[in-house]
Amino acid sequence: MLILDSNSSWAYFASRVFMIMLRNFSS
């Protein structure tokens, strides 16, 4: 999925939110 850089903690949070939103829209 997303490639997390050493200084991209925001990408980890964004990926989790994105997956949650995807599951909500899929449902």
Q: Give this prediction's pTM.
A: 0.47
* pLDDT tens digits for range 1-27: 556 565 578 878 889 999 999 999 987
Inter-residue contact 23 to 14 (CB < 8 Å): no
Residue type, 25: F
Q: Which burial class, exposed, middle or buried, applies to 15 when counting CB atoms under 10 A from its CB (0-12, 13-18, 19+)?
A: middle
pLDDT given for residue 27 in this prediction: 74
